[in-house]
Amino acid sequence: MWLPLGLALTFGSVGAAPLTPDQIRSLPPPTARPVEFKRDIEPILASSCIKCHARGRAKGGFLIDTRETLLRGGDSGPVVVAGQSQASLLIALVAGVDPDEVMPKKGSRLTANQIGLLRAWIDQGLAWDPGITFARPAPLNLLPHSPRLEISTASQTGPIDQILEPYFKTNHFHPEARPVKAPYFTGAVIDDRLFARRAWLDVVGLMPPGNELESFLADAHPNKRALLVERLLADDQHYAEHWLSFWNDLLRNDYRGTGYIDGGRKQITHWLYSALATNMPYDRFVAQLVNPTPESEGFSKGIVWRGVVNASQSPPLQAAQNISQVFMGVNLKCASCHDSLINDWRLSDSYGLASIYSDGPLQLFQCDKPTGQTAAARFIYPELGEIDPAADKPARLKRLAEIIAGPKDGRLPRTLVNRLWAQFFGHGLVEPVDDMEQAAWNQDLLDWLAEDLVAHHYDVKHTIALILTSQAYQLPAVDLAESKTFVFRGPGVRRMSAEQFRDALGQITGVWFPKAAFGNVTNQIRASLVAADPLAVALGRPNREQVVTSRPTVATTLQALELTNGETLAKILHRGAEQLAAADPLPGELIDRLYRNALSRPPRATEKAIAVDLLGQPTRREGIEDLVWAMVMLPEFQLIY
């Protein structure tokens, strides 16, 4: 409710002329009973007033954050007069004494009963319950702080599981104990075969090769799972090739698409691959994206769009949106056009961050209309550090990188560990993952993982190893769609990504992408290194013209059609069957190898009998093609359990 100057000069003691007796009689009468603020008034203010006059918004200079700000009034003077509702501008506005000036401007008008409650509240002295405020709350998950729980280094249980133990008790979840040889793996954990498949796909994005899987299963070392995770993380090439997809989605990096032809967009593939392969510390990784080198500037440069694009998609605003979303877990897209309607972010927040990347003064546009106001360069969380608006652009970028990647920013590590947790478990510690202003379902776990990441010099592989060697990661997978109320009971059943699916096909059939001009990678060109084909698009790989922090998990009709009748998959299976048939393997050996490579297990007797009939005597190419297609259609193949 903004306050028009005309009304401020009309009513009661807030202006020159009081309401007439007829106008006073037209007002709904005050409620006769005593009014309780929390029960009667707070809901009215929350539903009708705070969008314009609270949580950092002060239209007309008027705030209702507290009783004091309410009594202070707005730009035109007092808004309420304690004890005199008939002389209070607030009542005249909500009652619509002037039909052209009724508050709230948007949404439903107040009812006569609501106005009566407000009148009684004012007449009874404006009582306000202590502790209730409509002020913008302090941001969550922003500053570094240690978890409340202490971790015992003497325990055989790892830190993640120690933190989860009281959570499980509170939620009446008790993993059924069963004997396990390894000292760090107790409780109802999955077997070695399933663990190996899960870990291989999560760390390097590939199925465990049959011979390596059998060696792992035969290994009697009591800590072999931790050793496997360590070995997979040490495979720098395959690790980088797999995690390239995750970061390509987040950093809008691709191989073709809008802007690449005419220079309006720039790849960061070589820089990103090198950063992943060398396990660049995450704070340096972020600093080089925020204050970019020529090799990494494609992310903050954004897309110079062809055609008519609204003001909220200018390159500086793209930089603001992308940096805040990826590194801080803050979505500024709505606030790049107008004050957000879904959270507390304002247009000035987006433009302040965008001004750091602007080559000159940046004028604010609201809903694509110029406001005449110029944004002052500042970070969205000024409490983390100030930026001199008068500094030149290189100095502003350097300072921004110091703030985001600096020791005062506790949000940076929390946003990353939350994304990693969501990647491995199908559900973040904070949901949605792009709204880090929300509380975590286990705040101690989020805080401990974040502070541990910082303590280990932002070593991302260290954090991944901690997660994958926890009992929590090794619990049986659960269907996250079973309950509307989330309670953590183990990893969610996840679908393979488009890249994992395509690479798994390469492992089974030997059909990979043609060798690309990309460094010294092997002839097995991974799906993450090439542009999306129709199969990848159907399976959910995005075009990366926008930041993508999570891919859809629900199967679509397009995917069903592509997997059953798609030309891309058909060609891969055809070529793969030709190559497998040319090797002239014995049917039984071929079937065993296909099952181990595709499903990480030998075929059952009934499966093998059906497969032998399908292959025929002699082995037919068409039979191999049909068998491989049938196997890759299985949920056992497509899902990560």
- Please give the C-alpha separations between residue 519 and each of 104, 266, 450, 522, in angstroms, as whole numbers: 62, 18, 34, 9
pLDDT digits 0-9 by tens, 393-438 = 999 999 999 999 999 999 999 999 999 999 999 999 999 999 999 9
Is the domain of 509 the same as that of 636? yes
pLDDT digits 0-9 by tens, 485-498 = 899 999 999 999 99
Is 146 domain-assigned? no
Is 96 domain-assigned? yes
Tokens for 447, please give them.
């805080």
Whole-angstrom Cα distance, residue 251 to residue 443?
Answer: 27
Whole-angstrom Cα distance, residue 240 to residue 275?
Answer: 8
Tokens for 579, please give them.
């190559």
**End-of-domain residue from the set 380, 404, 428:** 404
Q: Is the preceding omega at residue 281 within 30 degrees of 0, hence cis?
A: no
Q: What percent of the chain has pLDDT over 70?
A: 94
pLDDT digits 0-9 by tens, 198-240 = 999 999 999 999 999 999 999 999 999 999 999 999 999 999 9
Confidence of residue 516 (pLDDT cuts 50, 70, 90): low
User: pTM for the whole thing?
Assistant: 0.88
Single out the residue of 196, 278, 208, 288 nearest to residue 240, CA to CA.
Answer: 278
Tokens for 504, please give them.
């798994």
Residue in the structure block whose two tokens are 């510690």:
429
**End-of-domain residue from the set 123, 141, 165:** 123
Is the domain of 522 the same as that of 388? no
Is 54 domain-assigned? yes
Is 384 domain-assigned? yes
| Continuous segment of H or E residues that includes residue 372 | strand 369-374
- 117-121: average pLDDT: 95
Helix (H, G, I), strand (E, B) or coil at 374: strand
Is 106 domain-assigned? yes
Strand ranges inside 414-478, DSSP E: none
* DSSP per residue, 328-344: H----SGGGTSS-SSSS
Is the domain of 382 the same as that of 507? no
**End-of-domain residue from the set 404, 437, 456:** 404
Whole-angstrom Cα distance, residue 553 to residue 103?
Answer: 43
Residue 179 confidence (pLDDT) above 60: no
Residue in the structure block whose two tokens are 């070695």:
192
| pLDDT score of 153 | 80
Confidence of residue 190 (pLDDT cuts 50, 70, 90): very high
Single out the residue of 214, 215, 238, 216 nearest to residue 225, CA to CA.
Answer: 216
> Is the C-alpha dihedral spanning 474, 478, 481, 482 positive or negative?
negative
Least confident range of 46-50, 487-491, 626-630:
46-50
Angle, helices 192-203/210-218, rounded to nearest 10 degrees: 130
Confidence of residue 2 (pLDDT cuts 50, 70, 90): very low
Domain containing residue 26: 5-123
Count of domains observed in the chain: 3
pLDDT digits 0-9 by tens, 526-537 = 999 999 999 999
Is 480 domain-assigned? no
Is the domain of 399 the same as that of 504? no
Residue 553 confidence (pLDDT) above 50: yes
Least confident range of 49-58, 282-291, 517-526, 576-585:
517-526
Whole-angstrom Cα distance, residue 333 to residue 328?
Answer: 14
pLDDT digits 0-9 by tens, 283-296 = 999 999 999 999 99
pLDDT digits 0-9 by tens, 99-117 = 888 888 888 899 999 999 9
Angle, helices 282-290/269-277, rounded to nearest 10 degrees: 170
Indicate the average pLDDT of the chain: 90
Helix (H, G, I), strand (E, B) or coil at 175: coil
Is 383 domain-assigned? yes
Is 132 domain-assigned? no
Tokens for 35, please give them.
């009014």
| pLDDT score of 157 | 87
Whole-angstrom Cα distance, residue 552 to residue 482?
Answer: 17
Residue 281 confidence (pLDDT) above 60: yes
Q: Are 493 and 477 in contact (CB under 8 A)?
A: yes
Selected residue with higher pLDDT from 315 and 24: 315
